[in-house]
Structure 1
Amino acid sequence: MPVLSQPDSSGLDNLSASRYGVQINLGTAAVPVWTFIYGLQTWGPKFDGVSEDDTDIASDGFASEAVAGNAFTAEFKGLVKGEDDGEDFVVDAGMWALVVASEQADSSGHVHLRYWHRKLPIAREFFATVKATLEPGKPNELQKFSGTLTGRGKPKDITKPGAAFKLHYGFGLTSYVATVDGQATSSLTAATATTGQIKTAFEALSNVDLATVTGASPDFNVELSPLPTLVSVTATPTGTATFGPA
């Protein structure tokens, strides 16, 4: 009888670690102000199930455990980022909020965060307590920070956050190509491209999971998920076109 063999995996691609976006809410739960935490080098969310022995007399001497609960933590580490004018250093607000919260002795030490993986189907929002510290270092070393977030309850699955952009074209062009983080869409006809065709063109890119397109020629509102870093547009053969933050 033939034995099942696992196929060679040499033709598969590998995935780089820590391709996350991480934001902290500097507003309220009702009116959030999501702010990126810059400088992160390591982001390690982890579920740690709590099990309990449920062995009984029918287990034939083998131990058995059942899941009785779960816990969520996230370890982080990074470099302190900000703006240095020569006299004062204005530290990144997202990172500093973690440090300030870790110094509190009451509910003001609770933080509200969300994170998502740029490639994997992972996007969550959660509340946590935080332990964060500025690590000791020498004057010729970069200042680092690190810590641990301990979840307050179950993280909530969310849709990967999108960014809102305006796509506009003026006179003199017949078509245009939009670019998202280095990937170009197919050519879109300026006069006739519909919201559905523009949506399809964006979602054909491997770095766009979801595109929401509204409006009408020559002005469109475009929301892309996950959050891109850089977008642009090229007009053909000549003419004006813009693609940027709304």
Structure 2
Amino acid sequence: MSTPVETNVTALARRWRLEVNLGTDAVPDWQLCPGVTEFTPASEPNIEDSSSYDSDGWTENTKTAQSWELSVTINRKINDSTKVYHPVHEAIRLAHFAYGSANYVHLRYMDRNGLPEAYEGRAIPTWAESGGEYTDLGQVEITFTGDGPLSPITNPLVTP
């Protein structure tokens, strides 16, 4: 009987899947955000120096807050026969121009291969068309600035 060989491979950046809730909190309707070409999550702690004379000259630190942000570039998707943009792209774009509760996007992102990493939160989107030359694709750079926690969740793509 042979011993199984452990194979470790490097995860790919394209493992991320972004979904936006087009429903409500009570009845969520999670929809894929298609056309993602770049995906950069960030979560920064605010760390304050909490040193005192008692630390014998060693620096002590305390985490006092946390912020998060998600930067995404998308290829803008359209239905050219009905002349409409993809509904998830439109929901994000319209939230960018709104105020109050309409300015927030409820989103989640997870490892599309079923690994356990997955997160959910609410964010304010910044929508910026990339522009470009006549040969370029229609792309948009979106920055989601977190409002409140970015919570680790069970990956909904994990199969039991």
Partner residue of 2:133? 138
Question: Post-superposition shift, 1:157?
Answer: 2.7
2:4 corresponds to which residue?
A: none
How far apart in 1 are the matches of 2:35 and 2:52?
A: 51
The partner residue of 2:159 within 195, 210, 230 is 210
Larger RCO: Structure 1 or Structure 2 (Cα < 8 Å, ≥ 6 residues apart)? 2
Paired with 2:134 and 2:90, the residues of 1 have a C-alpha distance of 21
**1:149 alignment partner, one of 144, 149, 152:** 144
By how many angstroms is 1:151 displaced? 1.5
Match of 2:20 among 21, 24, 38: 24
What do you get for the CA RMSD once the two structures are aligned? 1.8
Cα distance in 1 for residues equivalent to 2:55 and 2:152: 36
Match of 1:182 in 2: none
Counterpart of 1:12 (choices 8, 12, 25) is 8
Instruction: Return the index of the structure with the highest Cα Rg.
Output: 1
The Cα of 1:55 is off from its aligned counterpart by 1.1
What whole-Å deviation, never above 9, does each CA across 1:96-149 have from its counterpart, x for those lacking one? 211111111222111101111134421122111111122222222111001211
Q: Distance in 1 between matches of 2:72 and 2:120?
A: 16
What TM-score results when the alignment is normalised by the length of structure 2?
0.85
Are the counterparts in 1 of residues 97 and 103 from structure 2 also a CA contact under 8 Å?
yes
TM-aligned CA deviation for residue 62 of structure 1: 3.5
Provide the rounded CA distance (Å) in 1 between the counterparts of 2:156 and 2:11: 21
Residue 38 of structure 1 deviates from its aligned partner by 0.6
SS at match of 1:126: strand
Of residues 93, 100, 104, the one that matches 2:87 is 93
Q: Higher helix fraction: Structure 1 or Structure 2?
A: 2
For residues 9-63 of structure 1, the C-alpha deviation after alignment (integer angstroms, 9 at most, x for no partner) is xx63211113111111111111111111111111222210011111111334343
The count of aligned residue pairs is 153
Structure 2 gap ranges (5+): 1-6
SS for the counterpart of 2:108 is strand
Deviation at 1:82, TM superposition (A): 2.1
Q: CA deviation at 1:66?
A: 1.3
Partner amino acid, structure 1, of 2:122: F
- Cα deviation, residue 77, structure 1: 0.8
In the alignment, structure 1 residue 106 sits paired with structure 2 residue 112: no
TM-score normalised over the length of structure 1: 0.57
Contact 1:99 1:133 in 2 (8 A): no
Q: Percentage identity across aligned positions?
A: 28
Q: Provide the C-alpha distance between the structure 2 equivalents of 1:159 and 1:117, rounded to a whole number of angstroms.
A: 11
